[in-house]
Amino acid sequence: METVRIDLGERSYPILIAQDLLEQGATWQHLPKAAAALIVTNDVVAPLYLEKLRRTLSLRYAQVHAVVLPDGEAHKDWQTLNLIFDGLLAHGCDRKTVLFALGGGVIGDMTGFAAASYMRGVPFVQVPTTLLSQVDSSVGGKTAINHPLGKNMIGAFYQPQLVVCDLATLDTLPARELSAGLAEVIKYGPIADMQFFSWLEQNVDALRRRDRAALAHAVKRSVEIKAWVVGQDEKEAGLRAVLNFGHTFGHAMEAGMGYGHWLHGEGVAAGMVMAAELSRRLGLVDEAFAARLRMLIERAGLPVRGAVIDANDNAGRYLELMRVDKKSEAGEIRFVLIDGPGKAVVRAAPDALVREVIDACCA
């Protein structure tokens, strides 16, 4: 088993990475004691892993309740979040109840925000079952729901007690979602580690074949980079924003098309191509780098062209949506750009240049 520690003083916690962690009692041995646990999952993951997790948690908690939400980004909203609160209150769950997020990024984000808010905060555990949530969203304590006017606009920084990445759960992941997860894996290369990027170029086919050793390395290295960044800047005062490489364009696509049309990782993939192109036009990287990134994204089974989100004024709509991005300040959009391979920078760019990039990169 690999263990990566995220170092945040009294809010520190371990991330466990291995096969078959779900069913091992030892996985849960250091969690706080409580009368009850509540598992939050969705209707796709529940038939696969809910009973397995419930069985192993029953050894530790007298009561193990479950709330099964509808699947998908389109449900990451108030109405669905309230189903978690309804479940907690219906079962009389107290302030010590431990919540378990069993699923992908949507389940993790919603369960985390519910844990942050229920009785002003109860402990929670991330049990990510998708590649994307294992390598990115389950680590670092960002929780949120969407608002019709912007993604992840309502949420909290709230750290879990533990993150359990059971690599066996990736066996049941649809190929499209595996690829979407690879987008967030690839992201770590340009912003932090070009050696890892080279390794990915050599191993992308093995990853898509779900080679276990390759997946274990990809998850571990991704989580190490993320843990290091979050340890420097928990609440995104500065550095942490680099983890949003590709996300400014990506979020605009997700919001512009309506949540759920593209997977989050697909928006990030095309968004990275666009952010690399913007970096190139600003003279920060050369075409060879941009082409190399585009190629790897394509080999991962991901879109390399941005979505057209408005037939009449596509660039205008992108700009409008990107202005409500959380990194914006006083109406100025701030992009995560690549300032030479392996190093990210957060800065503004002229609207006219951004428009050119959008026009050039959207199909």
Binding site for its own copies (CB under 8 A): 35, 78, 82, 85-86, 89-90, 92, 94-96, 116-121, 142-144, 147, 149-150, 153-157, 235-236, 323-324, 326-331
- Residue from 220, 221, 251, 292 carrying the catalytic annotation: 251
Residue number, 176 or 235, with CB nearest to its own copies: 235
Q: Cβ of residue 87: shortest distance to its own copies, in angstroms?
A: 11
- Residue from 10, 33, 120, 312 carrying the catalytic annotation: 120
Q: What is 163-192 written as a DSSP string?
A: EEEEGGGGGGS-HHHHHHHHHHHHHHHHHH
Active-site annotation holds for 240: yes
Q: Closest Cα to residue 77, out of 30, 34, 114, 130?
A: 114
Residue number, 51 or 351, with CB nearest to its own copies: 351
Q: Cβ of residue 311: shortest distance to its own copies, in angstroms?
A: 24
Is 20 within any annotated ligand binding site? no
Residue number, 35 or 291, with CB nearest to its own copies: 35
Is 248 within any annotated ligand binding site? no
Active-site annotation holds for 184: yes
Residue number, 76 or 142, with CB nearest to its own copies: 142
H/E stretch holding 78 reads helix 78-90
Q: Cβ of residue 12: shortest distance to its own copies, in angstroms?
A: 18
CA 269 vs CA 44, 238, 247, 315, 335: distances in Å:
24, 23, 9, 18, 15
Distance, in Å, from the CA atom of 28 to the CA atom of 108, rounded to the nearest integer, reads 18
Question: What are phi and psi for residue 250, nearest 5 degrees?
Answer: -60, -45
Q: For residue 157, give both structure tokens.
A: 């920084």
Active-site annotation holds for 55: no
Is 147 within any annotated ligand binding site? no
- Residue from 224, 244, 280, 294 carrying the catalytic annotation: 244
Active-site annotation holds for 299: no
Active-site annotation holds for 52: no
Distance of CA 259 to the CA centre of its chain: 15
Residue number, 138 or 169, with CB nearest to its own copies: 138
Active-site annotation holds for 264: yes
Residue number, 270 or 354, with CB nearest to its own copies: 354
Is 129 within any annotated ligand binding site? yes
CA 357 vs CA 2, 254, 292, 301, 360: distances in Å:
41, 18, 18, 22, 5
CB 275 within 8 A of CB 250: no
CA 138 vs CA 71, 95, 219, 245: distances in Å:
17, 22, 12, 17
Burial of 342: CB neighbours in 10 Å, binned 0-12, 13-18, 19+: middle
Active-site annotation holds for 251: yes
Other Cβ atoms closer than 10 A to 66: 18
Q: Cβ of residue 153: shortest distance to its own copies, in angstroms?
A: 6
Is 247 within any annotated ligand binding site? yes
Q: Cβ of residue 326: shortest distance to its own copies, in angstroms?
A: 5
Numbered residues of the known binding site for NAD(+): 71-76, 105-109, 129-130, 142, 151, 169-172
Numbered residues of the known binding site: 71-76, 105-109, 129-130, 142, 151, 169-172, 184, 247, 264
Positions annotated as catalytic residues are 120, 142, 184, 226, 236, 240, 244, 247, 251, 264
Numbered residues of the known binding site for Zn(2+): 184, 247, 264
